[in-house]
Protein backbone atom coordinates (compact mmCIF):
# COMPACT_ATOMS: atom_id res chain seq x y z
CA UNK A 1 0.00 0.00 0.00
CA UNK A 2 1.37 3.38 -1.02
CA UNK A 3 1.45 6.23 1.49
CA UNK A 4 0.76 9.83 0.53
CA UNK A 5 3.78 11.59 -0.93
CA UNK A 6 5.82 13.79 1.37
CA UNK A 7 7.42 16.91 -0.05
CA UNK A 8 10.50 18.72 1.11
CA UNK A 9 11.49 22.20 0.05
CA UNK A 10 15.07 23.39 0.38
CA UNK A 11 15.64 27.12 0.78
CA UNK A 12 18.88 28.50 -0.64
CA UNK A 13 20.33 31.91 0.09
CA UNK A 14 23.46 33.43 -1.40
CA UNK A 15 25.82 36.16 -0.26
CA UNK A 16 28.18 37.39 -2.96
CA UNK A 17 30.89 39.88 -3.72
CA UNK A 18 33.25 40.12 -6.71
CA UNK A 19 35.42 37.23 -5.53
CA UNK A 20 33.35 34.94 -3.31
CA UNK A 21 29.94 33.34 -3.10
CA UNK A 22 28.56 31.79 0.06
CA UNK A 23 25.44 29.62 0.08
CA UNK A 24 23.22 28.47 2.91
CA UNK A 25 20.78 25.60 2.39
CA UNK A 26 17.94 25.15 4.85
CA UNK A 27 15.64 22.14 5.03
CA UNK A 28 12.70 21.97 7.45
CA UNK A 29 11.67 18.37 8.05
CA UNK A 30 8.14 17.25 8.93
CA UNK A 31 9.30 16.40 12.48
CA UNK A 32 10.18 20.08 13.04
CA UNK A 33 13.92 19.59 12.66
CA UNK A 34 15.83 22.19 10.67
CA UNK A 35 18.97 21.08 8.87
CA UNK A 36 21.27 23.87 7.69
CA UNK A 37 24.37 23.51 5.52
CA UNK A 38 26.89 25.87 3.94
CA UNK A 39 28.84 26.05 0.71
CA UNK A 40 31.51 28.39 -0.59
CA UNK A 41 33.02 29.29 -3.95
CA UNK A 42 35.90 31.61 -4.75
CA UNK A 43 36.47 33.12 -8.19
CA UNK A 44 40.01 32.76 -9.46
CA UNK A 45 41.40 36.22 -10.22
CA UNK A 46 41.77 35.57 -13.97
CA UNK A 47 38.25 34.14 -14.40
CA UNK A 48 35.47 36.35 -15.69
CA UNK A 49 32.90 37.51 -13.16
CA UNK A 50 29.97 35.10 -13.57
CA UNK A 51 27.84 35.21 -10.40
CA UNK A 52 25.58 32.38 -11.60
CA UNK A 53 28.54 29.99 -11.76
CA UNK A 54 29.60 30.92 -8.23
CA UNK A 55 26.03 30.31 -7.06
CA UNK A 56 25.96 26.90 -8.74
CA UNK A 57 29.24 25.83 -7.16
CA UNK A 58 28.49 27.20 -3.69
CA UNK A 59 24.92 25.86 -3.90
CA UNK A 60 26.09 22.39 -4.94
CA UNK A 61 28.56 22.31 -2.06
CA UNK A 62 25.84 23.35 0.40
CA UNK A 63 23.51 20.66 -0.95
CA UNK A 64 26.28 18.08 -0.71
CA UNK A 65 26.83 19.00 2.95
CA UNK A 66 23.06 18.89 3.50
CA UNK A 67 22.95 15.36 2.09
CA UNK A 68 25.73 14.23 4.44
CA UNK A 69 23.98 15.81 7.43
CA UNK A 70 20.74 14.02 6.51
CA UNK A 71 22.57 10.69 6.24
CA UNK A 72 24.14 11.26 9.65
CA UNK A 73 20.77 12.16 11.16
CA UNK A 74 19.15 9.05 9.69
CA UNK A 75 21.90 6.77 10.98
CA UNK A 76 21.69 8.32 14.45
CA UNK A 77 17.93 7.67 14.45
CA UNK A 78 18.49 4.06 13.35
CA UNK A 79 21.02 3.58 16.15
CA UNK A 80 18.74 5.16 18.74
CA UNK A 81 15.69 3.10 17.83
CA UNK A 82 17.46 -0.21 17.19
CA UNK A 83 20.13 -0.20 19.88
CA UNK A 84 22.75 -1.14 17.32
CA UNK A 85 25.42 0.82 15.47
CA UNK A 86 24.73 1.45 11.81
CA UNK A 87 27.53 2.04 9.35
CA UNK A 88 26.93 5.04 7.12
CA UNK A 89 28.29 4.98 3.60
CA UNK A 90 30.94 7.66 3.14
CA UNK A 91 30.98 9.11 -0.32
Inter-CA distances, 9 with 30, 39, 66, 78, Å:
11, 18, 13, 24
Strand intervals (E) in 1-91? 10-16, 20-28, 34-42
Query: What is the spatial distance between Cα 84 and Cα 67, in angstroms, rounded to a whole number?
Result: 22
Region 10-82: CATH code: 3.30.160.240
Query: What is the spatial distance between Cα 46 and Cα 28, in angstroms, rounded to a whole number?
Result: 39
Dihedral sign of CA atoms 43, 49, 53, 55 in order:
positive
- pLDDT digit string, tens, across residues 37-89: 999 999 988 888 888 999 999 999 999 999 999 999 988 898 888 877 766 66
Q: What is the pLDDT of residue 89?
A: 64
Query: What is the spatial distance between Cα 55 and Cα 25, in angstroms, rounded to a whole number?
Result: 12
Whole-prediction pTM value? Answer: 0.83
Q: What is the pLDDT of residue 90?
A: 60
Amino acid sequence: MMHPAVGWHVEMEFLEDDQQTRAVALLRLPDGTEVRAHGHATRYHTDSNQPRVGEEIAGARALNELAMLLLTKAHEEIDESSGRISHPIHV
